[in-house]
Structure 1
Amino acid sequence: MSRLHVVSGKGGTGKTTVAAALALALATEGRRTLLVEVEGRQGIAQLFETEALPYEERKIAVAPGGGEVYALAIDPELALLDYLQMFYKMGSAGRALKKIGAIDFATTVAPGLRDVLLTGKACEAVRRKGKDGRFAYDSVVMDAPPTGRITRFLNVNDEVAGLARVGPIHNQAQAVMRVLKSPETAVHLVTLLEEMPVQETMDGIAELRAEGLPTGAVVINMVRPAVLDAAAVGIAATQERAGIAQVLARAGLGAAHAGGRAEQLVEPLLEQAHEHAERVSLERVQRAELSQLNLLTHELEMLPNGVDLAGLYRLAADLRKQWPA
Structure 2
Amino acid sequence: MKQEIHFVTGKGGVGKSILAAALALKLSQEGKKTLLVELGDQSFFKDFFSVPQVGFQPTSIRPNLSLALWTGEACLQEYARHFIKVESLAKLFFENAVMRAFINVAPALPELAILGKVTSGPRKHGPPLPFDCVVVDAFATGHFIALLEAPKGMAEAVQFGPMGEQSRSIDAHLRNPEICKYHVVTLPEELPLKEADELISRLKAEFSIAPELILNKMMETSVSEGELQAVQNEGGDLAKFAEYLESHIQRQKQMWSAAEKMGVHLTRVPLYFENQPWVLVEKVAGNLR
Give me the identity figure in percent.
24
* Counterpart pick for 1:118 among 114, 120, 125: 114
Closer/same/farther in 2, CA of residues 127 and 314 from structure 1, 3 Å limit = farther
Please, which moves more after superposition, 7-16 or 103-112?
Answer: 103-112
AA in 2 matched with 1:112 = A
Whole-angstrom distance in 1 between the partners of 2:141 and 2:275? 23
Structure 1 272/93 Cα, relative in aligned 2: closer, same or farther at 3 Å?
Answer: same
In the alignment, which residue of structure 2 is the partner of 1:10?
Answer: 11
Deviates more, 1:106-115 or 1:13-22: 106-115
Q: Distance in 2 between matches of 1:42 and 1:101?
A: 29
Q: Give the conservation status (yes or no) of the 8 Å contact 2:3–2:122.
A: no
Q: TM-score w.r.t. structure 2 length?
A: 0.89
Deviation at 1:108, TM superposition (A): 3.7
**Higher mean C-alpha displacement, 269-278 vs 80-89:** 80-89
Cross-structure match for 2:210: 215
Asked whether the 8 Å contact 2:229–2:242 carries over to 1, the reply is no
SS in 2 for 1:11: coil
After alignment, is 309-318 or 278-287 more displaced?
309-318
**Secondary structure, in 3 states, of the residue corresponding to 1:318?**
coil
Q: Could you tell me which residue of structure 1 aligns to residue 27 of structure 2? A: 26
Deviation at 1:91, TM superposition (A): 4.4
- 1:34-82 residue CA offsets vs partner (Å, 9 max, x unmatched): 11111232013233321231111222212xxxxx012221132221122
- Distance in 1 between residues matched to 2:16 and 2:258, nearest whole Å: 20
SS of residue in 2 equivalent to 1:27: helix
Cα distance change, pair 2–205 in 1 and its aligned pair in 2 (3 A): farther
Equivalent position amino acid for 2:260 in 1: S
Moved more, 106-115 or 41-50: 106-115
Contact 2:185 2:214 (8 Å CA) reproduced: yes
- Provide the rounded CA distance (Å) in 2 between the counterparts of 1:39 and 1:23: 18
8 Å CA contact retained: 1:128, 1:135:
no
* Residue among 79, 84, 108 paired with 2:80: 84
1:297 corresponds to 2:266? yes
Change (3 A) 1:124 1:316: same
The residue identity in structure 2 corresponding to 1:146 is A
Counterpart AA for 2:271: M
Determine the C-alpha separation between the residues in 1 that align with 2:185 and 2:254: 17
Q: Structure 1 residues 100, 168: CA separation in 2 closer, same or farther (over 3 Å shift)?
A: closer
**Residues 126/302 of structure 1: CA separation in 2 closer, same or farther (3 Å cut):** farther
TM-score by length of 1: 0.80
Letter in 2 for 1:74: W
Query: By how many angstroms is 1:89 displaced?
Result: 5.6
Q: Name the count of aligned residue pairs.
A: 285
Which 5+ residue runs of structure 2 have no aligned equivalent?
A: none
What corresponds to 2:157 in structure 1? Answer: 163
- Partner letter of residue 110 of structure 2? R
- Kindly provide the CA deviation profile for residues 2-55 of structure 1, in whole angstroms up to 9, marking residues without a partner as x: 811100000000111100110011112321111111123201323332123111
- SS at structure 2 position matched to 1:40: coil
Q: Please show how residues 194-273 of structure 1 align to structure 2 within 5 Å.
A: 194-235=189-230, 239=232, 241=233, 245=234, 266-273=235-242
Q: CA deviation at 1:290?
A: 0.4
Q: Indicate yes or no: 2:46 matched with 1:45.
A: yes
**How big is the shift at 1:275?**
1.0
**Counterparts in 2 of 1:305-320, with a 5 A limit?**
305-306=274-275, 308-319=277-288
| Change over 3 Å in CA distance of 1:51–1:153 after alignment to 2 | same
* Matches of 1:167 and 1:104, distance apart in 2: 21
> 2: distance between equivalents of 1:219 and 1:270?
32
Shift of 1:141: 0.7
Rounded to whole Å, the distance in 1 between the matches of 2:160 and 2:236 is 73
SS at match of 2:75: helix
- What is the match of residue 277 of structure 1? 246
